[in-house]
Amino acid sequence: PRASRDTLRVKKKEKNEDNMEPPSTHTELRELCAVCFDVIRGDAGLCTAQRTRGLGDVECALFVTWKKRSKRGTWDLRGCIGTFSPLPLSDGLPRYARQSAFRDKRFPPIRGEEISLLECGISILSHFEKVQAWDDWEIGTHGVILTAQLRRRTYSATFLPEVCAEQGWGKRECIEHLLSKAGYDGKVDEETLSAVRIERYQSSKAKLSFSEYEKMRGL
């Protein structure tokens, strides 16, 4: 997944004064996925109603992930962008639904005819903690934000909590892939690992296929 340009440098905000809690139940998160489908279908001219008004002002750090079913029946990544800087859900959700669908530079923009093959995933991020050791986090539980000062340059990258488990990586493999993702092409030895700084976080996640979305919306 890729964060917007400034998100890896932004300090997380304190909870807002109303102490509103972000969506966390499976039903709530699946509704957010459905809203993302509403947004990109509306942008593609496939529907007119975009159900974003009821999202409220609760602030969330979030990522939106799109996957596409291949002819082999696998779900292949089609776009993933988000932010670590909490935004009102009514602003952040439609913004990153569009960013991940149409502006992830790793992929061409999603076309209208692809939407029926998509699955949307929502990750609401929480429990950010800076840790002392590069391996002080748990695979499948924590997402990892890596920052490292190497070769007079700062490298930064992140993986959501599910990435390492899905790929079958150990912790060191994960760090190596994060460094590569950040653009570092040198060897990863103990000296390199000593320069790595880690912030771990957790997420509440749900996903929704287009066929499930159709049932939710009665299409």
Q: Which residue has the tokens 């932004």?
A: 10
- Counting Cα atoms < 13 Å in the Cβ hemisphere of 172 gives 7
Which residues on neighbouring strands pair with residue 153, listed in sequence order? 150
Q: Which of 56, 164, 42 is nearest to 101 (CA)?
A: 42
* Residue-by-residue pLDDT tens, the chain, 219 positions: 655 444 444 444 444 444 467 787 889 999 999 999 999 999 988 877 666 666 778 899 999 999 999 999 999 999 999 999 999 999 999 999 999 999 999 999 999 999 999 999 999 999 999 999 999 999 999 999 999 999 899 999 999 999 999 999 999 999 999 999 999 999 999 999 999 999 999 999 999 999 999 999 998
Q: Which of 120, 26, 103, 11 is nearest to 61 (CA)?
A: 11
CB 40 within 8 Å of CB 110: yes
Query: How many CB atoms are located within 10 Å of the residue 17 CB?
Result: 6
For the chain, how big is the Rg over CA atoms in Å?
18
Q: What pTM was estimated for this model as a whole? A: 0.81
